[in-house]
Structure 1
């Protein structure tokens, strides 16, 4: 009985990071590489991903997955105008992201979030929930994206 309680205390001490990639291949890959590295250093990882281009969780057994609505089930906009898709994603995902993070916080599962820098809508959510937010630049800085201007 005492051993079980000690194990639960040790599990709670493990820092739990939430990774928030944009659903583009060039954004997902670096975020998952970082998640793998952090997991190998002892961090517990939750990936919050949109339903669009969602990864198969069975391919990543070391991570816990949460999926949020994105209002972009029609993949056409991603091909025709990916910049507009990023803006739409940032607007439509704030409420579902807030709800998901609130639930994870109530379970004691969030130490901080690591977000794709283009997922700028995460700032408002992190501020509202008083969460530490770290940004990862997943794109080459050849052209300054509009959210950096």
Structure 2
């Protein structure tokens, strides 16, 4: 129990820790966070898993109205994503969805955590003791500060990806040379060792996201802002292991808080017979 929770009148009656998990609203982000939730649940955590209202409705539509009923200590909640309501079942365009969640989700998320703590006051569940958030949902860092609890960010990408985004930020704002036009995508510029700290890695070997001709690309600006806020998290979980990305992990340790890394979380879930 944190000092702030003690000041709010919570007691030590509930021994079980309560983790609130909020993934980015994309399938490639929801599944890894759900795997983390299962691992935490197997270790004795009370789980609240937070989807957007849009994704929650999609699951109920495809799997039935009882699909997300959960267990007494593994429950699902929702918050709005901030986009206008639509009858279209497709996932919204990523850039607009990310922009909306970063601007509109903090207040609903604060209200949800406050509601869960009110339930705790009535003995319905443990008080929220920590937040696990996707690295693209860093409004959770502000929420954790408000409630005086730790927040752990999950980066489902590799350590190399996280380091690449962080160095892109540095290069742009130091006015170093980036890709100026599309001709740079086919000439020897892509063969340069572009990112300090990634030995022998050339620009052409980075994901297409890094092959932008506009240094002020809105989506890259969003990613850089999220990475910047990640430094305020209590810890970061990376989808890697030391033998694979040792040099990059060493570099990250100078920029980010305590980081945890693991092999595929799906393997950890499959090896756990209780889930």
TM class, shorter-chain normalised? 0.7 to 0.9
Larger radius of gyration: 2
Aligned to 1:32: 34
What is the aligned counterpart of 2:67 among 16, 41, 58?
Answer: 58
What is the aligned counterpart of 2:131 among 109, 113, 132?
Answer: 113
Structure 1: runs of 5 or more not aligned = 1-8
What is the aligned counterpart of 2:145 among 115, 122, 127?
Answer: 127
**CA offset at residue 25 of structure 1?**
0.3
**CA offset at residue 79 of structure 1?**
4.6
Where do 1:87-106 residues align within 5 Å?
87-106=99-118
Q: Using the TM superposition, name which of 126-135 and 9-18 deviates more.
A: 9-18
**CA offset at residue 84 of structure 1?**
3.3
Tell me if 1:69 matches 2:62: no
User: Any conservation in 2 of the 1:26–1:139 contact (CA below 8 Å)?
Assistant: no
**CA offset at residue 32 of structure 1?**
0.2
Q: Does 1 or 2 have the higher relative contact order (CA < 8 Å, sep 6+)?
A: 1
Aligned residues, how many? 140
Going by fraction, where is strand more abundant, 1 or 2? 1
The alignment partner of 1:13 has SS state of coil
TM-score, normalisation: structure 1: 0.80
User: Any conservation in 1 of the 2:69–2:76 contact (CA below 8 Å)?
Assistant: no
